[in-house]
C-alpha cells in the first residue's frame, strides 16, 4: 500500500515537472515569436521608409554613385608628389629657408583634383599638373607632375599657390630667418595660403580655359 502511494506521488511529480517544462517551452516560443514579429515590423518600417523616397539615387552625389577607390588612392599619391615638389623648390626656386604647407591646403587640392578629373575620359590618370607659386608680382614655377607617366595626358592643370599674407604669420616669419653661408642675404621661411587658383585646359579640345578660385 505504501509502495502504491509512493508510485502515485512520483507520477504526480513527473506530470507536474512535465507540465512546467511545457509551460516554460511555451513561454520561450511566445517570446521568440514576439521577437521575430518585432524584427519583421522594424524591417518593414525601414523598407517603407526606403520605398517612400526618403533616400533615393537622386539624393546621392555623383562622387558617391561613381566612387572609385583606385582614383582616391591615385589622388593621395599625386598630392604627396605635389608636397614633395614644393619642398624641393624652396631652395632653387622659392629661395626660402623653410616652406610651410598647411594640411588644409593639401586637402583642398586633393578635392579639386578629383572634381576636375571627374569628367575626363581617363580620370585623374590623364592629368598633367603645373605647380606655380605667386611671389609678389612674379609667378615662380615649382615643377610639373604627370599623375600617371604611362598615360597620355588629356588635360592640364595649373595650380597657382599663394603665400600667406594675412594673420599672425607675416609678423613672426622673421623669427625663422637664416643667413646664407655664401652670402649675407637673409632667407625667410615662407608659408603657403590655403587659398589657390587652378586653371584647367583640355588637351584634346579647343574649349575655353576653366579658371576656379579655391
Judge contact between 86 and 99, C-beta under 8 A.
Answer: yes
pLDDT in tens, 149-200: 999 999 999 999 999 875 544 545 555 555 544 444 445 788 999 999 999 9
Judge contact between 197 and 214, C-beta under 8 A.
Answer: yes
Which bin fits 53, alpha (ψ -120 to 50), beta or left (φ > 0)?
left
Q: Mean pLDDT over all residues of the chain?
A: 74
Alpha-carbon radius of gyration of the chain: 35
d(CA 146, CA 43): 50
For helices 103-117 and 69-92, angle between their N-to-C axes, nearest 10 degrees: 130
- In the chain, the percentage of residues whose pLDDT exceeds 90 is 45
Q: What is the mean pLDDT of residues 86-108?
A: 92
Q: What is the pLDDT of residue 128?
A: 98
Measured CA distances, 186 to 101, 139, 183, 199 (Å): 21, 21, 8, 33
Please name the residues in contact with 157: beta carbons below 8 A apart, sequence gap of 6 or more: 113, 116, 127, 128, 129, 130, 198, 199, 200, 201
pTM, 2 dp = 0.62
Judge contact between 177 and 167, C-beta under 8 A.
Answer: no
- Quick count: other Cβ atoms within 10 Å of Cβ 59? 9
**29 vs 66 pLDDT, higher one:** 66
Measured CA angle at 159 (ends 157, 163), to 5 deg: 175
Residue 93: pLDDT over 80:
yes
Amino acid at each position: 500500500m505504501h509502495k502504491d502511494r509512493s508510485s502515485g506521488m512520483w507520477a504526480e511529480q513527473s506530470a507536474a515537472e512535465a507540465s512546467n517544462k511545457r509551460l516554460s517551452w511555451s513561454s520561450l516560443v511566445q517570446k521568440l515569436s514576439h521577437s521575430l514579429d518585432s524584427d519583421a515590423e522594424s524591417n518593414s518600417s525601414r523598407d517603407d521608409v526606403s520605398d517612400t523616397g526618403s533616400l533615393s539615387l537622386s539624393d546621392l552625389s555623383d562622387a558617391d554613385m561613381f566612387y572609385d577607390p583606385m582614383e582616391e588612392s591615385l589622388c593621395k599619391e599625386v598630392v604627396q608628389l605635389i608636397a614633395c615638389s614644393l619642398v624641393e623648390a624652396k631652395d632653387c626656386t622659392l629661395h626660402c629657408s623653410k616652406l610651410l604647407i598647411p594640411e588644409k591646403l593639401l586637402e583642398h587640392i586633393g578635392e579639386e583634383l578629383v572634381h576636375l578629373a571627374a569628367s575626363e575620359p581617363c580620370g585623374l590618370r590623364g592629368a598633367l599638373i603645373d605647380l606655380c607659386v605667386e611671389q609678389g608680382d612674379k609667378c615662380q614655377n615649382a615643377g610639373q607632375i604627370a599623375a600617371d607617366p604611362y598615360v597620355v595626358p588629356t588635360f592640364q592643370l595649373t595650380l597657382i599657390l599663394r603665400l600667406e599674407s594675412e594673420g599672425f604669420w607675416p609678423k613672426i616669419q622673421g623669427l625663422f630667418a637664416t643667413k646664407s653661408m655664401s652670402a649675407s642675404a637673409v632667407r625667410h621661411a615662407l608659408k603657403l595660403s590655403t587659398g589657390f587658383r587652378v586653371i584647367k585646359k583640355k588637351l584634346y579640345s579647343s574649349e575655353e580655359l576653366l579658371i576656379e578660385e579655391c
